[in-house]
A and B are shown apart, each in its own frame.
Chain A
C-alpha cells in the first residue's frame, strides 16, 4: 500500500498539471471552471494520500472543506457566468479585461 504512495502523488501531479494547463489555455469560462475542479480533485488526492500515510484525520477533514469550498465556488462562479452572459452575450474570458484600471 505504502509503496503505491508515489503513484498517487505522481498521478495527482499529472492531474493538477493537466487542470492547470486547461486553466491557462481554454477561453471558455465554464471549461476553465471545470479545469479548476480537476485541480481541486488532484489536491484532494494528495490530501487523502498523506492522511493515509500519516494516519491523521486532518487530511480527510481538509478534503471535506475543499469539497465545500468547491460547492460554494460553483454556486457563485456559475451565478457570475450567468450574469456575464446576460450582460454581454459571451463568457469568453478573453473578452473581459475588467481587472484593468
Chain B
C-alpha cells in the first residue's frame, strides 16, 4: 500500500517537473512548480517527517513560488521573447551530457546508498525520530552556529534584494 503510494507520488513529481521544464508559458511553469513542491512535501510525509513536509509547503509553495509569480507579473512576461527556447539550437552534446549524468548519478546513488544504512528501521523508532523535538534539540545545541549563520544569510539576501530592486 505504502509502496504504491510512494510510486504514485514519484510519478506525479516527475510529471510535474517535466511540465515545469517544457511549458512555453512562464506562468504555467510556475504553477506546475507549485504542484511539484506539494508532491515533494507529500513524499516527505511518507518518510514520516511531518514537520519538514509542512515547512516545504509553506516555504516553497507558499513563499518562494508567490515570489516568483509576483516577479513574472511585474516583468509582464507571458510568452516573452522566449520563442527560440528548447527547440533547435540546443546541441546534442548537452543531451548526451545530461544522459551520462543521469546514469552516473543513478549508478552511484543506488549502488552507494545501501552502504549508508545504519539506524533501526522499526516503525515506532521512525515515528519518534520524525518529531520536531529532535530537530529542535539539534538546532539549539550542535547546529546553533550554522542556524544563526543561515539567519544572517537571509538578512543579507533581503538587504541585497532591496538594494538591487530599488529604483535608482
Chains A and B touch each other in the complex, with CB atoms below 8 Å apart: yes
Beta-carbon contact of B60 and A73 below 8 Å:
no
With CB as the reference atom, state the residue of chain A lying closest to B110: A6
Q: Which residue from A8, A33, A53 sits with its C-beta under 8 Å from B43?
A: A8
Instruction: Contact check, A72 vs B164: say whether CB atoms are below 8 A apart.
Output: no
Q: Which of A14-67 contact B (CB under 8 A)?
A: 14-22, 24-28, 30-31, 33-35, 37-38, 41, 44-46, 48-58, 60-61, 63-65, 67
Q: Across the interface, which residues of A come within 8 angstroms of B23, CB to CB? A: 31
Q: How far is the CA of A48 from the CA of B47 in the complex (A)?
A: 8
**Across the interface, do B157 and A31 meet the contact criterion of CB distance under 8 Å?**
no
> In whole angstroms, what is the CA distance A81 to B80 when docked?
14
Interface size class of A (residues with CB under 8 A): 35 or more
> Is the beta-carbon distance between A2 and B68 smaller than 8 angstroms?
no
- Which residues of B are found within 8 Å of A6, using beta-carbon distances? 110, 113-114
Chain B interface, >50% SS class: helix
**A79 x B164 contact (CB < 8 A):** yes
Cβ–Cβ < 8 Å partners of A73 in chain B: 157
The answer, among A15, A79, A90, for a CB contact under 8 Å with B160, is A79
Secondary structure at the A interface, as helix, strand, loop or mixed, is helix
Residues of B within 8 A of A (CB): 2-3, 6-7, 10, 13-14, 17-18, 20-21, 23, 26, 29-30, 33, 36-37, 40, 43-44, 47-49, 52, 55-56, 59-60, 63-64, 67-68, 70-72, 74-75, 77, 80-82, 84-86, 90, 94-95, 97-98, 101-102, 105-106, 109-110, 113-114, 116-121, 123, 125-126, 129, 134-135, 137-139, 143, 146-147, 150-151, 153-154, 156-158, 160-165
B-binding residues in A (CB < 8 A): 1-2, 4-22, 24-28, 30-31, 33-35, 37-38, 41, 44-46, 48-58, 60-61, 63-65, 67-76, 78-83, 85, 90-92
Can you list 10 pairs linking A and B with CB atoms under 8 Å apart? A7-B6, A10-B110, A17-B98, A26-B82, A41-B37, A48-B52, A54-B116, A61-B138, A70-B60, A90-B80
